[in-house]
Structures are given as C-alpha cells and as structure tokens.
Structure 1
Amino acid sequence: MGWLASLNDWMSRPRSARTVILWLSVYLAVAANWPLWMDLARIGGAPSVYLRTTGGMAVLLVSGLVGLLSFTAWSRWFKPVWIALVVLAAVVQHYMMAYRIVIDPSMLANATQTDVHEVRDLLSWRMLVNVALVAVLPVWWIWRVRIARIGLGGQLWRNLVMLLAAAGVAAGCVVAMNRDLAPLMRNNVHLRYMLNPLATVYSTATVVVRPLFQHKRKLVPMTAGAALGPSYAQQERPPLFVIVVGETARADHFALNGYARDTNPELSARGVLSYDNVHSCGTNTLASVPCMFSPLGKAAFEARKDDYENLMDVLQAAGLAVFWIDNQSGCKDVCNRVPHAFAADGLPADIKAKLCAGGDECLDEALLEGLDARLAALPPERRAKGVVLVMHQMGSHGPEYYKRSPLAAKAFQPECTTNALAECAHADLVNAYDNSIRYTDHVLAGAIDWLKTKSSDYDTGMLYMSDHGESLGEFGLFLHGLPYGLAPDVQKHVPVVAWLSDGLRRRADLSAACMKGDRQTAYTHDNLYHTALAMMDVKTPSFKPALDMFGKCRAPAA
C-alpha cells in the first residue's frame, strides 16, 4: 500500500490557501457540473460549436468560483467552509441529474418549506453513492492539506490580486465569446441556474439574505366590508362548502378530461363537472397555494411588497365558520389566522396505524376521518350561518408516487418503487403516478359522499383544484418547480372538479345546463378567490364578478 502512503504524503504537503482555492474551483467545475456540460452538448449541436461554448462556460465558472472562494482564502480555519461547499455541490448535482431540476430561488424557497417526511422521500442509497463519488476525495485532501501561514497584510493583497484576476479573466471571456455566449444564455435562461455551486449560493443569498435588507412586510387588511349576502336572510339550510387543494395533479391524467386510462372511476359516477383548461399560479406549492387564495391575482401577487389577508380571512370576517385540514407540510401561511389542524391530529390509534404507517405522514383518506366531530366543534353561531372546510392533500407528491396510494387503489402495474425516477421504465413511473391520481379520485368521491350525508342540514358542494402539475420524464424533466416561464405546460396545467348539490345550485341561482357547457373555458388560480366568495354569497369590495368561474351561469346573467 505504498501508493496510498505516497498519495497521503502528497495531499498533506503545505500549500497556500489560494492554491487550494484554485484547485478546488477547477475540480468543482469539472466533477460537479455534469448536468451543465451535458445540457450544453445537447443544445450546442455540432462538436465544433458546443466545445467552444463549453470551454467559455468552464472559464466563467472557474473564474466565478475562484472569485467567490477568494473571500475564504485565509487560513486552515476556513476548511469547514470549503468542505461544506464540496458536499453542497455534490448533493445539488445528484438532484439535478436525478430529477432534471435547476436550483433557482423559487426552488430553494420551496425546499425550505419542506418537512421531514418529504425530505425522507428524497433520500436514497444512490444519493449517498453519488455524493461520495464527488465529495470524498476533495474532502480528504482539504482535511489533510496543511495551509501555509502568511501574515495578514500578505494574505490581504494576495487575495485581492486573486479576486481581481478572476474578475479580469471572466470579463475577458465574456468580451471574447460574447457572440456565442449572449444568445446561448438569452435563449436558455435555465443554464444560469445550472452553474454549480454558484447558482445555489446565489439562490440561497436571494432567499435568505435579501429579505434582511428589505422593508418589513406588513399585513394589508382585506376584510373591511366583508358581509353575508341576501341569501342568508331566510335560508332554510346553511351552506357547507369543501375546497380541496390538490397536490401535483396533472389535468391530462384525469379520465374526466379525456385521459385514456380510467383514473376517475368514482368521480365519473357522481355527476361532477371537470374543467380541463385551467392553469396554475406557480409550479411549486409555496408559490401556488398562497397565490390561489389571494385576492390579488398572479401578477399583482408576485409583485407585492406586503402580505395580504386572503380568502380564509374574508370568509371568517363575514361570519362563517372556516376550518383548514392539512395533510401536507403546512398551509404556507394561508391558514395562520383561522382554525386549522393536521389530518393526523386526533386520529384513533387503529385508524392512524392503517392510514399513517405508524407515523404522521398519512394517506389522504385521513382528511375524511372525524369530519363530523370537526364540524360539530366549530362555533355554533358561525356554523348556523355557513361552513367552509379546506382540505390540503398529499395528493401525487413525488418522487415516491407509489407511497401516495394504498394497495387497493393500485390498478396499474408494475409500479416504479424508487425515488430515482430516471432509473424506472417510463411506463412504470406513469403507473405509480396514475395510481396516485386514482386514489385522489377515491378521496374526492369520499368527500362528496360525506357531503351527501349532510344534505338534510346543509346545502353542500365541493371544489377541487390542484396547486400545480408535474413532469414525468418529458423532455428529460422530472417533478416540478422550474421557473414559470421555462416550465413545460404539464407543470402548470391543473385539474379542477366541482360537485354541487341541487340545494346549493338552486341557492346560488346556477344553471346546470350552462355549467356543463363551460368545461373548455380558460381559467386560472386567479378564479378561486372570487368563485368561492360567490358560492358562499359573501360580499366584499375585493370581489370581482368577472373572475367568478360560475358567474355566467347564474340566473341574472342568463
């Protein structure tokens, strides 16, 4: 094993911090950026073209890394920072290659909202192997290398020279290759978020550091003037409306929308209305859920500088009983000011063992458990006016789609049973995903059946709307969360399903024939706020009748 001793001796030789930084930058550019190099080869066409652009991108990447790390080129006490950056780059490369994602600020912000169960779904032995292949050797070297000591003044001017040299090389490369790089980056914006780990550092700074320098958000009230409409004056029964927030469901995988597979056997038998031309506000839960409950609409929501009260606040302010039940990683601040609970809360031990696998990550049928008790626990004076329940599903959350449906709902076999989606046969991946959609069909049918049991006491209805869609390998992409302008339509085209009892339809003066003929009209998440207010007959200055999905089918409009 003399070669191992020789290698260890070579690694432990004294070197300046700048030498370590330089070699580390080159190593990360080469070993931790395979998704970038492969994408450049795919985009570039002929080798004479993509080799030139790849060389230019490599120079820019190494220069950027040297410039960034020059701020840490001081002493051996910065070794933990270098090791952390190597491990970060290795982890990021694994997920970029496994799921074809990019680490932009929205993806990172969504990741910070992920709970322990979702993190667990993303872990695998393959991830550990891939990270080890990239990180073990440089981490060992960083640990072993001795950093030569230089006085503070000497370190300062040498680091400054390194920073200026890196900036000069990068500027020279941009000038020399502007004709190649400018159109490349303009036409392929995602490439800037594939520069590993620079993109992750930038996105982290955007998500974590930038808010520290922004003004403190205030909560803008939207509840002023909220009141119940004339239908409440002499109502026979109060309304009971269930809003189901779906997770990661694609409109084109709903049989109700023409999908060849029977993914909606139970809803098809319950007289629902399915709207097949609806698009989401965002491509991840953190972006979409607050947006769909906001009165602002997508454009104004994304441009806002303050927080605004949402649909839940307005319904509660009008005097209705509202309750949010979550089977996800949280309501993304939508339910902060109204009563809320997790689906697992209060479940009997036998039901929890059946639906939650002994933990707190439950199948979506947990949302339907104990609904009578949850309803009865709401304030009676509010309940007598009307009730809105929101159920936030686990739905088809990936990458472990097979966990989102019980054995009884697995009509499509064989399933992909790993979170390394690129390793699965495409048909197996689609089977697992479609089984999760079929299970959502079962849960929604269960919600409708429960609402029917309440028909003697309430006028009942349900509106289901998914938060975003999903990529299942199309164009080499998996999961969701790409920047909205770059994301394929399957990450934005979402299913919407409505079921209204005859009592609620008559109460809202809706024409059944008109509603059945409105399936192809284009709608977005912007419509949810105004549609829910109209269904509950809540009057408020923020209500826009033109955004009520069912507005054209109300008796006065007809």
Structure 2
Amino acid sequence: MVHNKDDRRAGFPRPVVSHLTLNLIVAAYIFAALNLGFWSRMVAAFHGNPVQIGLFGIAIFGLTLFTLELLGPARLQRPAAAALILIASGASYYERTFGVLIDREMIRNVFETTVTESRHLITFGAVAQIGLSGILPAALVFWPRVRRVRRWHHLWRWPMGMGLSLAILLGGLFSEYKAFSAVLRERKEVMAAYQPGATIAALVKFGKEQFAGGDPVARPIALDAAPGPHLAAATKPVLLVFFAGETARAQNFGLNGYERDTTPGLAARDVINFPDVSSCGTSTAVSLPCMFSPLAQADYSRNEFLSRENLLDVLVRAGFDVKWVDNNTGDQRIAARTGWDRVDPALTPDVCVGECTDEAFLPIIERTAATMTRNTVLVLHMIGNHGPAYYLRYPQDRAVFAPDCRTAEFAECEVGAIVNAYDNAMLETDHVLSATIDMLSASDRVLPAMFFLSDHGESLGENGLYLHAAPMFMAPEVQTKVPMVMWMANGFRTEMGLDGGCLRDVAKAPASQDNVFHTVLGLLDVSTAARDAALDLTDTCRKGIAS
C-alpha cells in the first residue's frame, strides 16, 4: 500500500491498493460485521463444530468475494462494493432488530408499502445504525486509490478474479460436502440470513416474477354464479360486512383462551369463534390476495392470483354491490375490477389525528346500512395491529394495559410494554367489531352479517423475532395462526337457513384461509359450481328452504 506524493503534500493521504486487496477488505467487513445473524444460525446448524464452521465460513467468504468480483469489474468496483455494503447493512439492521429475513415477499412488501407505513420502520435508531455500519463504510470505499491493470488486461483479470473466488467457495464446500449439503437442504434459515446474497436473490426472484407475469388479464371464474334459493327469497337486502384484519394473532385473542381479556365486547355478543385458523402466508401481500382467491395455499402464487378472478368478481356476478374501503396499504389488486376507496379522515376527524384508527369505518358501515337497496358486501381492510407502531392503533384513553410502548423503536421498550401496546390494539379491534354488531343489530332495513379474519399473525419477541413476514418454511405459529369470527343477525340466520348450533360445532375443527372463498359464497347462498362444498364451513349447516 503506497501513498501519492501530491496527496501527502495536500495533507490528505490516500492509500493506493490493488483491485483484489480492496475486494478482500470489503468482503471481510461484510462477512464479519454485517452477517451476525448468519453466523449465529451457522454455529447452531453445525452444533458448534469448529472445523465445519471454519470450512463453511471460508466457503461463504468465497461467495462474498465472488459477488464483489462478478458485479464490480474495473471502475464499477467501488460503486458495486458500496451498494453491497448498503444492502447488507440495511438487511442486517432489520434482522438484528426484528429478526426479519429478506425474501421475495419481503421485497414485495417494500415495493408495495405506503409512506405512512414505512416511516415507522425508518426511525432515528435505524438511520443512525445503518449510517455507521453502512453509509460510512460505503463512503470509505471511495477513499483509497485503486491500482488497475491496463484496459485490455481486464479481459483476463476479471474472469481470473471470479475463478479464484469461485475456487475458494467450491473448495470450502466440497471439503465437507456431506455435512454442508445436509445443512443447505434442511436448514434453509442459514443462507436466508446471509447478506448480501439473500437480498440479491430476493430482488432477482421478485424482478423475474414481475417481468414474467407482467399484468395478466384475469380469466373469468364462476360464470354460473347466481342467488341460491334462500338469497333469492330474502325479504330484505343482505349486507355482509367483511373485516380483513391486520396482524392479529390468534394467541392474543381473548376468545381463544388468552389469559388477558382482549375481546370483552365480542365475548358479550352472539358470535361464532374459530379458534384454530391458519393463514396462507405471513405478510399482507400474500395472505390477503390468497384468502380472496379460489386457490388453496398449496397452489397460490402471485401470478396465479392475478391471472383469474376472485371472490369479489363472483359476488358481483351474483348480483351483489361490492365496496372495498381501505385503512391500510391498499387492496393488493383484489378489487382491481370492482374499485376501492380509502377511509375519509374528514368523516371522523377525532379518530384520524395523524393516522386513522379503525373506528373510522363505523360511519361508513352506518351509512351503507341506511342507504343500500341491493345485496351488498362491504370489505373493510383494517390497520388493526400493524406494527411496530402499535400505540397508534388505539386512542390513549382506551389503553387498558400499561405501561404500553409508545414508540416504533422497540429497543427503547421492555418486551412487556410492547405486548401491552399490541394487546391494546387488539382491544381496539374488539371495540370496532362490537360496535359494528350493535349497529347492524339495530338496523331494520337489512339482513346483516359480519365476518372477521386477520391476514397473518405477529411475533412479539419470541425467540428474538418481532413483526411478521418470516419465510413460511421457518415461520412460527404466532405468525401463521389467526383469529376468525362470524356473526349473523337472527333475521339473516333464519332467512338464509343457517343453523347456529351446527356452525358452532363446525368452528371447533381446524380451518384455514383456504376456506374463505367457499365459505363466503356459502354464507351468502351464492349458487355456483366454483364453490367447493368440502371447503365451505357453512355447507352442512344449511336447512332446506320451506315450500
């Protein structure tokens, strides 16, 4: 390493390094400082075996070096190195802080999030830590001068650099191939925590999916959809209020036996609770479209969802007015053909200070019940328990559990305070659902019913994990078990021929979001061959219509 004379005279010495030396320094920094999650998972996967840990570490260091060589030939080296440091730093921060791993669906969440949602994750702590571990080191990459070979020599220098780093990777892997292949196959969380590789892979998968899928035209389904005999004979318009919940986990839902009574309002009302319901995914971008789709979880993909109509289209075909109102990140293309609106803060300014709580839905429900003249399904996409700013989801004067964490910086709160804030947000959902039931019960214009189902759950510090969107192969049950509740007015139950006692018995069995498409069609007595009776939770509980 040498210094330029002009630099020394100016008092700003800049070291001169070779292309390979800079890559080795950057690779060492990324691998040692920005991969703590990878290291902890690797040590656990190899049960502390120092030889295997060392050899596998050498192999993955070779992978890091190969990535730098591949993406940064010649004068692209420093921009590529800086970008990889920034990617690894950001991913490392969120992995260390929330236990979040970056995969394709997490990348989708990043691209589809709102400014309001993202600002709760871009906190002072995040900026400070990413600044120190990412921005500053990325800037330092441009400090040394790089001694480069002549232009034509790059024709051999670039492939040679990739070849040498690839040799390190393969040499390390094949030194203990049997053990390493088993870990790579069975312990996917190890490489899912490796940065920047996991994030780059996720970006490539997301981009490939977007490019391959484009914007497909949804093919029609359930062309035979029509009112069944009960719906056709109804004496009043039918109103289903469908609450698409957000981040409510079954374990903290009072009706499911949680030690805290987070659902006192629902417990006092005649609701049917489903205590064992599994989600299709661990993020809104997956679970919400999946639950409205005729596809089962095993068959679901984003492109498959976009390539066919969904529940809302079938309901319109059966003669329903369908309205989607959003207090979250949008409709996720579910209402692409039926349209959707956001909550209007002007209707309820007292609950929309900064952000609207879900109480903003109540005047919409009241107005719909008072003015509708046709069968209607009102879908309300809640903000619910969306984190990390749980404290914004409920008014402070209804904060029953204290002290509650009143910041999005979890590092500033005890786990108990985070749970208190989460449970207070669950109480707010209970308040909104209970108020909705009371409002619908008081209406003599419609035959009302309510359906509530959360999209996915949430981690609250268990095993060091927070928030949601863990890859499904490693997602804990707190992220995949969700509350689901059904309520029907007596008039709705009678005219639609549904047996409440039978439904309560059905509710004791396990269910999933695979049931939603078919159950809503069954609940509303929509006749179509697209409804699978085996997945319709109401199918065995409908009485024949009186002649």
Q: TM-score, normalised by structure 2?
A: 0.92
Question: Would the aligned equivalents of 1:283 and 1:484 in 2 still touch at CA under 8 Å?
Answer: yes
CA distance in structure 2 between the partners assigned to 1:464 and 1:132 by the alignment:
42
Aligned residues: 537
Distance 1:514 1:73, change over 3 A: closer
Deviations 1:400-441 (A, max 9, x none): 212211112210001123334355322212111111111100
CA distance in structure 2 between the partners assigned to 1:443 and 1:410 by the alignment:
15
Pick one of 341, 353, 363 that aligns with 2:357. 363
Deviations 1:98-120 (A, max 9, x none): 01121121222222221111111
- Corresponding residue for 1:380? none
Deviations 1:478-532 (A, max 9, x none): 1111121211111111101111000110122111222233332111101111111
- Corresponding residue for 2:395? 406
Question: Would the aligned equivalents of 2:230 and 2:497 in 1 still touch at CA under 8 Å?
Answer: no
Distance 1:298 1:73, change over 3 A: closer
1:336 alignment partner, SS class: coil
- Corresponding residue for 1:327? 327
Deviations 1:148-202 (A, max 9, x none): 3433321121010011111111111111022332232333211111111111011
Pick one of 402, 422, 437 that aligns with 1:448. 437
- Corresponding residue for 1:104? 103
Aligned-residue offset at 1:77:
5.2
CA distance in structure 1 between the partners assigned to 2:61 and 2:459 by the alignment:
32
- Corresponding residue for 1:140? 139
Aligned-residue offset at 1:143:
2.1
- Corresponding residue for 1:386? 375
CA distance in structure 1 between the partners assigned to 2:111 and 2:240 by the alignment:
32
CA distance in structure 1 between the partners assigned to 2:509 and 2:294 by the alignment:
21
CA distance in structure 2 between the partners assigned to 1:285 and 1:11 by the alignment:
51
Greater alpha carbon shift after TM alignment, 270-279 vs 185-194: 185-194
CA distance in structure 2 between the partners assigned to 1:395 and 1:449 by the alignment:
20
Aligned-residue offset at 1:73:
3.4
Question: How does 1:477-488 map onto structure 2 within 5 Å?
Answer: 477-488=465-476
Q: TM-score, normalised by structure 1?
A: 0.91
CA distance in structure 2 between the partners assigned to 1:9 and 1:124 by the alignment:
37
Instruction: Give the partner amino acid of 2:265.
Output: E
Instruction: Give the partner amino acid of 1:531.
Output: T
> What is the CA RMSD across the aligned residues, in angstroms?
2.3
CA distance in structure 2 between the partners assigned to 1:544 and 1:318 by the alignment:
16
Aligned-residue offset at 1:78:
4.8
Deviations 1:14-46 (A, max 9, x none): 333333222211111111111111233344444
Aligned-residue offset at 1:267:
1.2
CA distance in structure 2 between the partners assigned to 1:215 and 1:20 by the alignment:
40
- Corresponding residue for 1:550? 538
Question: Would the aligned equivalents of 2:331 and 2:340 in 1 still touch at CA under 8 Å?
Answer: no
CA distance in structure 1 between the partners assigned to 2:233 and 2:45 by the alignment:
66
- Corresponding residue for 1:53? 52
Instruction: Give the partner amino acid of 1:355.
Output: V
Deviations 1:290-310 (A, max 9, x none): 110011221222396462100
Aligned-residue offset at 1:342:
0.5
1:182 alignment partner, SS class: helix
Aligned-residue offset at 1:94:
0.5
Aligned-residue offset at 1:276:
0.1
Pick one of 512, 537, 540 that aligns with 2:500. 512
CA distance in structure 1 between the partners assigned to 2:408 and 2:454 by the alignment:
22
Alignment of 1:123 with 2:133, yes or no, is no
1:461 alignment partner, SS class: strand
Alignment of 1:314 with 2:303, yes or no, is no
CA distance in structure 1 between the partners assigned to 2:276 and 2:239 by the alignment:
26
CA distance in structure 2 between the partners assigned to 1:363 and 1:255 by the alignment:
20
CA distance in structure 2 between the partners assigned to 1:200 and 1:236 by the alignment:
56
Distance 1:457 1:374, change over 3 A: closer
Aligned-residue offset at 1:76:
3.9
CA distance in structure 2 between the partners assigned to 1:254 and 1:156 by the alignment:
63
Aligned-residue offset at 1:215:
7.3
CA distance in structure 2 between the partners assigned to 1:537 and 1:119 by the alignment:
40
Instruction: Give the partner amino acid of 1:340.
Output: W
Instruction: Give the partner amino acid of 2:521.
Output: L
Question: Would the aligned equivalents of 2:72 and 2:79 in 1 still touch at CA under 8 Å?
Answer: no
- Corresponding residue for 2:410? 421
2:264 alignment partner, SS class: coil
CA distance in structure 1 between the partners assigned to 2:497 and 2:249 by the alignment:
31
Greater alpha carbon shift after TM alignment, 293-302 vs 72-81: 72-81
CA distance in structure 1 between the partners assigned to 2:486 and 2:52 by the alignment:
51
CA distance in structure 2 between the partners assigned to 1:552 and 1:59 by the alignment:
60
Instruction: Give the partner amino acid of 1:192.
Output: M
Instruction: Give the partner amino acid of 1:262.
Output: D
Question: How does 1:336-351 map onto structure 2 within 5 Å?
Answer: 336-344=336-344, 347-348=346-347, 351=348
Deviations 1:198-234 (A, max 9, x none): 1101100110134324676332211411212222444
1:196 alignment partner, SS class: coil
CA distance in structure 2 between the partners assigned to 1:210 and 1:279 by the alignment:
26
Instruction: Give the partner amino acid of 1:37.
Output: W
Question: Would the aligned equivalents of 1:185 and 1:192 in 2 still touch at CA under 8 Å?
Answer: yes
CA distance in structure 2 between the partners assigned to 1:488 and 1:233 by the alignment:
44
- Corresponding residue for 1:162? 161
- Corresponding residue for 1:241? 240
Instruction: Give the partner amino acid of 1:63.
Output: G
Question: Would the aligned equivalents of 1:18 and 1:159 in 2 still touch at CA under 8 Å?
Answer: no
- Corresponding residue for 2:385? 396
Aligned-residue offset at 1:376:
6.7
1:496 alignment partner, SS class: strand
Question: Would the aligned equivalents of 2:59 and 2:171 in 1 still touch at CA under 8 Å?
Answer: no
Distance 1:252 1:491, change over 3 A: same
Distance 1:44 1:133, change over 3 A: farther
Pick one of 36, 39, 43 that aligns with 1:37. 39
Identity in percent: 33
Deviations 1:247-276 (A, max 9, x none): 111112111111111101111112111110
Instruction: Give the partner amino acid of 1:363.
Output: T
Question: Would the aligned equivalents of 1:219 and 1:308 in 2 still touch at CA under 8 Å?
Answer: yes
Question: Would the aligned equivalents of 1:76 and 1:147 in 2 still touch at CA under 8 Å?
Answer: no
Question: Would the aligned equivalents of 2:231 and 2:526 in 1 still touch at CA under 8 Å?
Answer: no
Distance 1:35 1:188, change over 3 A: same
Question: Would the aligned equivalents of 1:11 and 1:144 in 2 still touch at CA under 8 Å?
Answer: no
Greater alpha carbon shift after TM alignment, 222-231 vs 161-170: 222-231
Instruction: Give the partner amino acid of 1:535.
Output: L
CA distance in structure 1 between the partners assigned to 2:188 and 2:40 by the alignment:
16
Instruction: Give the partner amino acid of 1:273.
Output: I
- Corresponding residue for 1:531? 519
CA distance in structure 2 between the partners assigned to 1:451 and 1:339 by the alignment:
24
CA distance in structure 2 between the partners assigned to 1:496 and 1:296 by the alignment:
19
CA distance in structure 2 between the partners assigned to 1:323 and 1:85 by the alignment:
44
- Corresponding residue for 2:3? none
CA distance in structure 2 between the partners assigned to 1:199 and 1:516 by the alignment:
45
CA distance in structure 2 between the partners assigned to 1:19 and 1:499 by the alignment:
67
Aligned-residue offset at 1:68:
1.8
